[in-house]
């Protein structure tokens, strides 16, 4: 049985923790490609946040659909914020190795 991401104990615990990731990059080109992919994902999430927020603000949908839109906006905003943190960590790590 597959669980939804929010059913995972680590997701629902609400406790802050530090996650360490190590990713081998073979070249500066690969690092730029990774950063570019994360920037594209962050832009996509921001676009989704703005689109859903606008639909909600303009009163689209039924009350239950609007509640769902609110939850989706919150979820997209969290993804956007995490991508932003990941990009900041990459930038910091890159500066540390220069």
In tens, the pLDDT along 33-74 reads 999 999 999 999 999 888 888 877 777 777 777 777 778 888
Question: Which residue is listed with tokens 């900041």?
Answer: 88
> Looking at the domain assignment, is residue 59 inside a domain?
yes
Cβ burial, residue 53 (10 Å; 0-12/13-18/19+):
middle
* pLDDT recorded at residue 12: 59
Structure-derived torsion over alpha carbons of residues 89, 91, 92, 98, reported in degrees to the nearest 10:
140
Q: Where would I find the H helices in 22-62?
A: 28-57
> Looking at the domain assignment, is residue 20 inside a domain?
no
* pLDDT recorded at residue 11: 58
Domain count for the chain, please give it.
Answer: 1
Supply 12's token pair. Answer: 């629902």
What is the span of the domain harbouring residue 59?
30-97
> Looking at the domain assignment, is residue 23 inside a domain?
no
* pLDDT recorded at residue 1: 36
> Looking at the domain assignment, is residue 13 inside a domain?
no
């Amino acid at each position: 049985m597959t669980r939804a991401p929010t059913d995972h104990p680590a997701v629902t615990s609400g406790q802050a923790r530090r996650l360490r990731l190590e990713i081998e990059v073979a070249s500066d080109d690969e690092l730029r490609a990774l950063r570019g992919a994360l920037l594209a994902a962050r832009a996509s999430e921001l676009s989704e946040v703005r689109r859903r927020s606008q639909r909600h603000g303009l009163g689209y949908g039924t009350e239950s659909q609007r509640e769902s839109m609110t939850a989706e906006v919150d979820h997209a905003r969290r993804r956007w914020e995490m991508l932003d943190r990941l990009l900041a960590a990459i930038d910091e790590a890159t500066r540390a190795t220069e």
